[in-house]
Amino acid sequence: MGIKSFIHRVKSGVNNTSSGLFASAMAIDLGTANTMIYESDRGIVLEEPSVIAIERSSNNVIAVGSEAKAMLGRTGRDISVIRPLKDGVIKEATATMAMLRRFFEQAQTKRFTMRPRVLVCVPSGITEVEVNAVRTSLERAGAREVLLVPEPLAAAVGVGLPVEAAIGNMIVDVGGGTTEVAVISMSSIAADSSIRVGGDEMNDAIIDHMKRMAYLLIGERSAEAVKMSLGSLLEDDQRETEISGRDAASGIPKTYTVKAGQIREALREPVDAIRKAVGHGLEKTPPELVRDIVNRGIVLTGGGSLLRGLDRILTRETGLPVRIADNPLSCTVLGAGIILTDLFRYRKLLLD
């Protein structure tokens, strides 16, 4: 069933979550780093890392989510720990399907007798091939029908921006695999800029920096932990912490004291890419909408928005007020949930 025929059913049939039409419906933020699932009458029912552990010899699923993430870098030869999404899109289709199937099982209650109808958030710069991969993976995981909404539009609804009004609203969503910059007006994206740079690239930059400057080899989990504890773009941040890894020359384990200034230097390249993407988004924006943004400012969402000082960097770069959303991690799935409860009203936000 296509979007038009589905919307016709909503308009002429039933339009509430207690109906049979919505008895099994969920919104999904399928992120590179984390997956979140929302059900209209229960709220957010699942928030797990987008990670799956598979036994190589049998292809059996060993674990998903937090349990699988804890295995990163710690498994034997017979277990493969996979992050099946990269840069906001599906990299490993079979692993994604298996992971989603487990997530569906965890999220759904026994009262559901129908396969779920799913509204999934996707990057605004997604290609047709990538769209097909998302649809196929969700359908094979158990979805009855798949609808798609661009992540910036869902995030804007989730933070309460007036997306339907003839007013320019600018949102910058810094996720695990992508940064989405969008100017939204009258239920559509008037200007955008999408780059495949986000929290994962920040982790990679820290790994490379520690290898190059301290001759220390660390893994992804250690890099993420350092980013969370010391990640800061503030010049006066003097904090430090210890990090353990392997000496790049001798191979012997060692502990190194890393300072916030070193992490700031490591993050310079991905942060510059985000800064330039915001500038490109503004350059594409029609003049009348720019005037609205001058008055209303820019809203930061996504896990990357919590990087200390990022809002100040963007304010200094653009001269515009920048604020971090009250719910930066969950606003995208919450917005998708709002859209899901009133699909006819928000039909213009959906991808065809």
Q: Is residue 70 part of a domain?
A: no
pLDDT per residue as tens digits for the range 153-202? 999 999 999 999 999 999 999 999 999 999 999 999 999 999 999 999 99
Percentage of residues of the chain with pLDDT beyond 90: 84
- 186 & 263 share domain: no
- 22 & 150 share domain: yes
Provide φ and ψ at 119, rounded to 5°.
Answer: -110, 115
pLDDT per residue as tens digits for the range 49-80? 999 999 999 999 999 999 999 999 888 889 99
Query: Residues, the chain, total?
Result: 352
Closest-CA residue to 350 (of 1, 31, 7): 7
Task: Determine the straight-line distance between the first and last CA of the chain, rounded to whole angstroms.
Answer: 12
Q: Is residue 29 part of a domain?
A: yes
Task: Please report which helix (H) or strand (E) contains residue 52, including its range.
Answer: strand 52-55
Q: Is the pLDDT of residue 10 over 50?
A: no
- 168 & 293 share domain: yes
* pLDDT value, residue 22: 38
Give the domain CATH number at 291.
3.30.420.40
Q: Which domain holds residue 339?
A: 3-47+89-154+332-349
pLDDT per residue as tens digits for the range 16-27? 443 333 347 899
Question: Do the beta carbons of residue 73 and residue 98 sit within 8 Å?
Answer: no
Give the domain CATH number at 249.
3.90.640.10
- 234 & 141 share domain: no
Q: What's the number of domains the chain is made of?
A: 3
Task: Please report which helix (H) or strand (E) contains residue 254, including its range.
Answer: strand 253-259
Which of 64-73, 109-118, 122-131, 274-283 has the least mean pLDDT? 109-118
Task: Please give the model's pTM, rounded to 2 decimal places.
Answer: 0.89
Question: Do the beta carbons of residue 117 and residue 144 sit within 8 Å?
Answer: yes
- 203 & 242 share domain: yes
Question: Do the beta carbons of residue 300 and residue 310 sit within 8 Å?
Answer: yes
pLDDT per residue as tens digits for the range 196-226? 999 999 999 999 999 999 999 999 999 999 9
Question: Do the beta carbons of residue 249 and residue 302 sit within 8 Å?
Answer: no
Considering the chain, what is the average pLDDT of its residues?
91
- 204 & 192 share domain: no
- Separation CA 151–CA 25 (nearest Å): 18
Higher pLDDT, 86 or 115: 86
- 182 & 241 share domain: no
- 171 & 133 share domain: no
What is the tally of helices (H) and strands (E) in the chain?
A: 12, 18
